Amino acid sequence: MIFGEWKPVEEIVESLADSTEVLLVGCATCVAECAAGGEKEVETLAPLLSMALKKKGSSVEIKTAMLEKQCEYEFVEMLAEQVEKADTLLSLACGIGVQVLAERFPDKRVLPGVNTSALTVREEAGVWASRCAACGDCVLGETHGFCPVARCSKSLMNGPCGGTSKDGKCEVGEEMDCVWNQIVERAEARGELDSLVKIRKTKDWSNTRHGGPKKVVRKELRQ
């Protein structure tokens, strides 16, 4: 899932200073799962912003809306009527949702209320960990299900490095597991340690960083 968290309330308040009517839009998918943009967060943030703006002498009116997904055009279209009355849209979705809102309603000011930071898995209540860097060239089949790009502090394609401690921790932090140590342990447990002898080439980022935005097309799914 995509992980995000609220921008500082002070930062959001400052960005709304010139607005008159704001539509605060939540998203019921990823940001709801990480407690940043679901219905509860929308209901919590709206009065916080109203009070903070009033203290600054601003009479901004804040209304709220929830979408199942802000990254899908058909869901965003459901906002059309509510958007007409607002001059500013404040999105609590990930960066993709913010851009879809801005594309659909180009005459409106669209602001992010969330900082998007990673593709994660929820390890336990209140704890999310990065598991994928969306590099476009997946090597999980070679690294026994562990992503070295996202989970190694140096994104090493061959490891462990010399900074790995004897108890399998990363030199960056004592509580951080060395993913290459984990890869070796899993390969050994499977009796496939020889599979790691192969030298993996440095990442070729040209698949995803070629001077323009990445676009994925599945011809068989197009209508």
Query: Would you list the domain boundaries of the chain?
Result: 2-118, 137-202
- The CA distance from 217 to 137, in Å, is 16
Cα maximum dimension of the chain: 68
Residue type, 154: K
- The CA distance from 28 to 37, in Å, is 7
Burial environment of residue 45 by CB neighbours within 10 A (0 to 12, 13 to 18, 19 or more): buried
- The CA distance from 176 to 161, in Å, is 14
pLDDT of residue 222: 76
Q: Which of 28, 12, 6 is nearest to 97 (CA)?
A: 28
Kindly give the confidence (pLDDT) of every residue in the chain, 223 residues in length, as a single tens digit, with 9 standing for 90 and above.
899 999 999 999 999 988 999 999 999 999 999 999 999 999 999 999 999 999 999 889 999 999 999 999 999 999 999 999 999 999 999 999 999 999 999 999 999 999 998 888 888 888 888 898 888 788 898 999 999 999 999 999 999 999 999 899 999 988 899 999 999 999 999 999 999 998 988 877 665 554 555 556 667 777 6
- Cβ distance 196 to 183 under 8 Å? yes
| CA 135 to each of CA 40, 90, 180, 212, 218: distance values in angstroms, whole numbers, following the listed order | 33, 29, 18, 15, 18
- The CA distance from 74 to 76, in Å, is 6
Topology (CATH level 3) of domain 2-118: Rossmann fold (3.40.50)
Q: What is the pTM of this model?
A: 0.78
Strand 61-67 and strand 21-27: the pairing is: parallel
- The CA distance from 92 to 24, in Å, is 7
pLDDT of residue 206: 66
C-alpha dihedral over 52, 56, 62, 66, to 10 degrees?
Answer: -40
- H/E stretch holding 59 reads none
